[in-house]
Amino acid sequence: MAEQQAVALVTGGGGGLGRAVCLALGQTGAHVVANDRDEARAEACAQALQAAGHAASAAAGNVSSAEAVDALKAQIIQRFGRLDILVNMAGNVANDLLVKVKDEDFIATLDAHLRSTLNCMRAFAPLMRERSYGRIVNMSSVAALGIVGGTSYSAAKGAIEALSRTAAMELARYGITVNCVAPGLINAGMFLTNPEHFRQAGIARTPMGRPGEPEEVAAAIRFLASREAGYITGQTLLVCGGLSVGV
């Protein structure tokens, strides 16, 4: 009997890094559901995958809202009846010093990164449990180790890693793995919005002497989302060109 086509959901899939992950999963033959809070970006990602010959669809929604995630889950159940791969990439840009961080900004960053990850794992783990199979990959960052000016962001990413380890322990018995990928400086998204001097300082601290490419992060996620990674769970894979060694 032919193996069923895998169904993958990528939250935050409309950005440059998210699109690279969607494409990497599409290349495995999975049907990729590209989620983004911006409907136009979600649609553009799905159309790009379809143009490349991959199965894809778009699903707009802000996954930091439990109600939006419930609606997304209902859509996926109605169309596919299951979910095999969940990649949580939704987030925002946040730079703040400890003594200057505002409560509302701190909470907004936790919502965008941590709450969205919790909402999606809580909603979709039962679907995976029904089939005794699942791959969950959560987006962390080398900033989880600590970074000046990253009070909210570092806290959110560190919490995601802790949440992922706990989920890995709880879900292992059901054939579900939960891991994190923690990029360093990547030629996409937040890194490109930083001033040139900040980018160059980060590159100077990176042993490989360059920022990573979105496709390099996507390759790590694709591996952890594969059947071949079935004995890896509760881990954080750093894709940072060695930056974490000196942190």
pLDDT, mean over the chain: 94
What residues in the chain have per-residue pLDDT under 70?
1-2, 246-247
β 85-88/7-11 pair status: parallel
Cα separation, 203 vs 173, whole angstroms? 41
Per-residue model confidence (pLDDT) at position 247: 57
Q: In this structure, which amino acid lies at residue 38?
A: D
The pLDDT of residue 196 is 84
Tokens 């998204």 map to which residue?
189
Question: What length is written for the chain?
Answer: 247
Whole-angstrom distance, CA of residue 50 vs CA of residue 44:
10
Tens of pLDDT, residue by residue over 115-147, are 999 999 999 999 999 999 999 999 999 998 998
Residue pair 60/36 in contact (Cβ under 8 Å)? The answer is yes
What residues are annotated to the active site?
153
All domains in the chain, ordered by first residue? 7-185+213-240 (3.40.50.720)
Q: Which of 40, 43, 35, 33 is nearest to 61 (CA)?
A: 35
DSSP secondary structure letters along 182-211? EE-SBSSHHHHHS-HHHHHHHHHTSTTSSP
Helix, strand, coil shares of the chain, percent, nearest 5, are 50, 15, 30
Cα(212)–Cα(219) distance, integer angstroms: 12
pLDDT reported for residue 160: 98
The 10s digit of each residue's pLDDT in 23-48 is 999 999 999 999 999 999 999 999 99
Between CA 70 and CA 50 the distance in angstroms is 26
Which pLDDT does position 1 carry in this prediction? 35
Q: Rounded CA gap, 157 and 149, in Å? A: 14
Cα separation of 39 and 33, whole Å?
A: 13
In this prediction the pTM is: 0.95
